[in-house]
Structure 1
Amino acid sequence: MIITRYVGDLEKDSPIFYSDFLIIGSGIAGLFTALKASTYGKVIVLTKKTLLDSNTKLAQGGIAAAVHEEDSPFLHLEDTLEAGAGLCEIDAVDVLVREGPQRVRELIEAGATFDMKDGNVSLTKEGAHSKARVLHAADATGEAIRSALVQKCQESPDITVLENQFLVDILGDHNQQECYGALIYDTKKNQTNIYISKSTIIAAGGNGQLYKYTTNPDVATADGMAAAFRAGCSLIDMEFIQFHPTVLFSRDTQRFLISEAVRGEGGLLYNKNKERFMHKYHPLEELAPRDVVSRAILNEMMTKDSEYVYLDMKHIPNVTKRFPNIYENCLQNNIDITKNLVPVSPAAHYTMGGIQTNTKAETNLYSLYACGEVACVGVHGANRLASNSLLEGIVFGQKIIDNVEEILYRRKITPEEVFKNYDSTWVFTSENPTIEPNQAKKQLQEIMWEKVGIIREETGLKQANTEITEIYKNLAPSDNIVSYYEAINMLTVARIIVQASLWRKESRGGHYRSDYPKRDDVRWIKHMSFVNC
């Protein structure tokens, strides 16, 4: 499966736009970085659909930070390393936990509001945390943060936010490993635009839509990872996919998440026979790391021939006030959490891997940065600690702005350089265009869920590899150009996930091989990275 350099055509008459900071993505990472960058120059934020479409909006549990006097960055570091199963980069985790509290204070200064108790910020405890350190706004924390950042960004005269802008390709000099900007498709005007910038920041989110069942919105199609990979960036730790254990069971592809905080507040899991079971799998029971809980639920479903297990929230004090969003969504499905058990099952939720960056959020392309879920700086290792994702976005967004002097003194890129370094023979073309993009996506999602999901093994992974390659070879262009681009991106990143899963012959964190069920610290305390040569 040959991955080409480009998927889109660079046209001479395309409009050209300039900025100091080009930010692709409008979740917490993109908006926080934009707000910080606006002090120093002109910022353009491009978002795939609208400002409402991101994983940040859907984040329920909260944001973790050691802000209480009985907590400390060191304890937060210990918990993060333990959850990461030996693969966290300790220098990156140290940055996360030490700088996290100050970044959270800045969120509050920007207008984000969190629940209070007795005059102080209310903190809850989630799975694998040793202390209550998760700040929350009921069960809609992400939306509280997102709305505050959106308002601040819209008030700034130096920030331009453009909706319905699809990332097609990263532009630059492939030989010199330098980024010039991005090729963007405006889905409302049906035209391709060129953006040239002193710095390009990818904050485009994850790839949950690769799976048949996911908590992610429909925009999470791996666009940022795929475009960066085509441009020459390394993708690392791609075998580690987090499946959230408690997602409201339904027949829908995109499913509603039941926050980790529910179990932190005392929610209990029961199997089909109404028996508690987590004590059989981990001493922390319901508060075990997410990968453990997901596999435990899957095992109970298989042994009891059931499509789900139950989550009991009835005994949680003031449960409708603590989790009003969950309460309302469950009511829409005829489930009253004050009276009924809630049917839940796992779904794809988060990608631990991504575009490889250092602690300055730099990629291996000069002037190209990445932060948030799209990036992998090493803070999550093989399994992300609950509520560390929102924190990661703002901490490493700030690290980009800490490098602002180098960004602003960069030479001006000319359109001539952009066109000179573009080669139309490097644009993807299918060998035998017979599969429509929407059909390709559905086939891919089924393959990934069945063969590259919570439990994997060699035969299934090899079959997945063959099937994905065939879909890629036979992908046909479509009148819906965005769907076509998305299909290419999803197939590109899926192939890397499959290959990484095949090569890692052990089980660790979010990667579990039934044919290699043990963790192997002798051979596999290492990362795997992939580069488009």
Structure 2
Amino acid sequence: MNNQPHDLTRKTDHVVIVGGGLAGLFCALKLAPRLVTVISAAPLGQGASTAWAQGGIAAAVAEGDSAEAHAADTVAAGAGLVDETIALGIAREAGARIHDLLRYGVPFDRDLEGRLAVGREAAHSARRIVHVRGDMAGQAIISALADAVRGTPSIRVIEGYAAEALLTEDNAVTGLQLRKVGDAGARPVIIASRTVVLATGGIGHLYAVTTNPAEASGSGLAIAARAGAVIADPEFVQFHPTAIMAGRDPAPLATEALRGEGATLINDKGERFMLARHEFAELAPRDVVARGVFAEIAAGRSAFLDARAALGPRFAKKFPTVYASCIAAGIDPARQPIPVAPAAHYHMGGIAVDAHGRSSLRGLWAGGEVSSTGAHGANRLASNSLLEAVVYAARIAEDIDGSSIASLGRLATPIELRNCAFSAASEAGLRAMMTSHVGVIRDGERLAEAVRTFAAIERDADNVALRNMATTALLVAASAWARRESRGAQYRIDYPAERPQLKHRTRTTLTAAREIAASLSARAELRAPQPMTA
């Protein structure tokens, strides 16, 4: 069922889900036949990182594997910050969620005996990644769910509108402010609701080099933070080691499964540089591999993913998505090494939620990449993100089903009217600073400069969209500055070691980030040269 948002300005008996990716669509289906409205900035599924996911879903469904082993691998990859209870719970629910997806029509690969076929990816101790045609899991999942959503009468779908503000009263959600995407002159539209699920995805588009779609600009995290929600672990941004350097934004991804099949990383001299960096070489945790690739590029040696010996002529059939991206860039991966570089890929941080997906604001749930559950710690284990998304989407639906929707005393009040349009230069400048100052390798001085810059934009921006980007950028940079150690995906050259006293998750707010910015600005003013007096 399709509607215009204007039809829902005073309707309060519905659950509003913001986001048309895996978490949002799965949650909507699980809530049926309850009345649900799904808000998607792009045509359903098209603006979601889910659709671009190549690896698949991690699930201990093979003989000899176990949820306990899966959870242990998750904990090991998370650099000391994984909530072990959460990780085990997610791993134990994996089988049920995979069967849900099968019922919704997802055509997971099977072996000759009809069992689910499983592959292996970095830092997993067993073959437990469930795929679709090698590297097409994300697209297949999102297509199947989108079809199921469109065929469910109780689900309204509103496309082409972005949520730009979360409206609250007394620490409780009262509604959302939307604006039509791509229409600079559009006025905002208010949707009233006491029950909102944010499933808006990640923050990759805040970086100049990313594998994420443009919609992954951190807007969901920003609107929750601006409404006062607690944010967890925003400093931990995972960079995929092998984005294909083809001059495209976003950069196409060379899935980790390629390395699982034996592809190696080499420099321009043909040397396998990861052998000297980690005992697992190319299958080391992603943060280690990303830094290895980054170091080769910084040293002027370039980095390449070489699948010639491992796959050769089988490449096109085994990994059709990667093959097509390479061919479009003029690279034949069966005969040539693929030029690669690290790219912003996944955000371990997000809106802090409990085991049911509830945030610190009443009536606000969050699922998928916009949330932070404690499952990923400081460094996400490969293919755990899609699993977390479906597990929490189901938990959120169950939690909402067990609660009553309170009626609104009055219509939510819109925030100040601002124009969504902003210059490309403003966006490009923010993204460039995130890459150079808050990227794979960080240091205190550059982080401090980023914090001051983003705080000024967040304070002074004359449009909502740019302000929201700056809000999320500020939260990431301020928390990265405050964590004076290297752990997982956070690597600081001025604090290169883990510090045992910092072995805990971050809990922060936008107010706290602004306070860090104010302190750093005051320090900078004190250090600035004073004008000479006569």
- Superposition TM-score, scaled by structure 2 size: 0.90
Can you give the 5+ residue segments of structure 2 that lack an aligned partner in the other structure?
A: 1-5, 512-534
Aligned: 1:500 with 2:479: yes
How far apart are the structure 1 equivalents of 2:207 and 2:151?
37
Residue 227 of structure 2 is aligned to residue 234 of structure 1? no
Question: 2:35 is matched with which residue: 42, 53, 76?
Answer: 42
| 1:195 corresponds to 2:174 | no
Matched-pair contact (CA < 8 Å) for 1:233–1:531: yes
Partner of residue 94 from structure 1, selected from 75, 88, 94: 88
Out of 239, 244, 249, the position equivalent to 1:243 is: 239
1:299 alignment counterpart: 295
- Counterpart Cα distance in 1 of 2:10 and 2:424: 31
Q: Residues of 1 paired with 2:406 and 2:329: CA distance?
A: 56
| Correspondence for 1:463 among 429, 441, 449 | 449
Once the two structures are superposed, what CA deviation does each residue of 1:210-269 show, in whole Å capped at 9, x if it has no partner?
111000111111110000001111111011000000010133331001001100111111
Asked if 2 retains the 8 angstrom alpha-carbon contact of 1:440 and 1:471, the reply is: no
Structure 1 position 314, deviation (Å): 1.5
Partners of 2:225 and 2:252 in 1: CA distance: 30
Name the structure 1 match of 2:3: none
Task: Please name the residue that 2:488 is paired with.
Answer: 509
Per-residue deviation, 1:197: 2.6
Deviations 1:382-440 (A, max 9, x none): 00000001111110011112213443x23212434x24xx6x6xx4989xxxx954222
> Of 22, 25, 28, which aligns to 2:22?
28
- Contact map agreement 1:17 1:194 (CA 8 A) in 2: no
Q: Secondary structure at the match of 2:475?
A: helix
Equivalence map 1:21-420=2 (5 Å): 21-39=15-33, 41-51=34-44, 52-118=46-112, 119-138=114-133, 139-173=135-169, 176-187=170-181, 190-303=186-299, 305-306=300-301, 308-317=302-311, 318-407=314-403, 409-416=404-411, 418-419=412-413
Identity %: 36
Q: Distance in 2 between matches of 1:442 and 1:26?
A: 26
1:146-165 Cα offsets, whole Å, 9 max, x none, are 00001111111001111011
Give me the whole-angstrom Cα distance separating, in 2, the residues matched to 1:414 and 1:151.
Answer: 36
Once residues 102 and 15 of structure 1 are traced to their aligned partners in structure 2, the CA distance between those partners, rounded to angstroms, is 37
- Deviation string, structure 1 residues 445-476 (Cα, Å, up to 9, x no partner): 1111111100001111112122223344443x
* Cα distance in structure 2, aligned partners of 1:472 and 1:398: 34
**Kept after mapping to 2: 8 A contact 1:31/1:150:** yes
2:502 maps to 524
Could you tell me which amino acid in structure 2 is paired with residue 274 of structure 1?
Answer: G
SS at 1:344's partner residue? strand
Q: Distance in 2 between matches of 1:528 and 1:328?
A: 40
The answer to whether the Cα contact below 8 Å between 2:13 and 2:405 also exists between their aligned partners in 1 is no
> Distance in 2 between the 1:19 and 1:309 partners?
54
Q: How much does 1:169 deviate?
A: 1.1
CA distance in 2, matches of 1:415, 1:205: 30
Give the match's secondary structure for 1:250: coil
2:304 alignment partner, SS class: strand
- Aligned CA RMSD, in angstroms, stands at 2.0
Give the letter aligned to residue 54 of structure 1. Answer: A
CA contact (8 A) 2:188 2:417 kept: no
> In 2 relative to 1, CA 511–188 (structure 1 residues): closer, same or farther, beyond 3 Å?
closer
Query: Using the alignment, how far apart are the partners of 2:8 and 2:123 within structure 1?
Result: 50
Q: Which amino acid aligns with 2:57?
A: I
How far off its partner does 1:98 sit? 0.7
Closer, same or farther: CA 236–326 of 1 in aligned 2, 3 Å? same
Q: How many residues align?
A: 498
Q: CA deviation at 1:67?
A: 0.6
Contact 1:88 1:378 survives alignment (8 Å):
yes
Give the letter for the 2:428 counterpart. K
**8 Å CA contact 1:437, 1:487 repeated in 2:** no
The offset of 1:338, in angstroms, is: 1.0
CA distance in structure 2 between the aligned counterparts of 1:405 and 1:47, rounded to whole angstroms: 22
Q: Which residue of 2 aligns with 1:481?
A: none
Indicate if the aligned counterparts of 2:422 and 2:466 stay in contact, CA closer than 8 A.
no
Uncovered stretches (5+) of structure 1, i.e. residues with no partner? 1-11, 478-483
TM-score between the two structures when normalised by the length of structure 1: 0.90
The secondary structure found in structure 2 opposite 1:395 is helix
Moved over 6 A (4+): none
Q: Which amino acid aligns with 2:326?
A: C
Letter in 2 for 1:106: D
Paired with 1:428 and 1:489, the residues of 2 have a C-alpha distance of: 14
Residue aligning to 1:9: none
Name the SS for the 1:166 alignment partner: strand
Q: Distance in 1 between matches of 2:454 and 2:37?
A: 35
Q: Measure, in 2, the Cα distance between the counterparts of 1:166 and 1:250.
A: 29
Say which SS state the counterpart of residue 274 (structure 1) adopts.
coil
* Residue identity opposite 2:509 in structure 1: V
Code of the aligned partner of 2:266 = Y
How far apart in 2 are the matches of 1:21 and 1:88? 30
- Specify the SS of the correspondent of 1:297: helix
Distance 2:457 2:510 in 1: 19
Contact 2:19 2:39 in 1 (8 A): yes
**Is the CA contact (8 Å cut-off) linking 2:42 and 2:160 kept in structure 1?**
yes
SS in structure 2 at match of 1:247: strand
**Contact 1:264/1:287 (<8 A) preserved:** yes
Q: Is residue 2:432 matched to residue 1:441?
A: no
Alignment partner of 1:34: what SS? helix
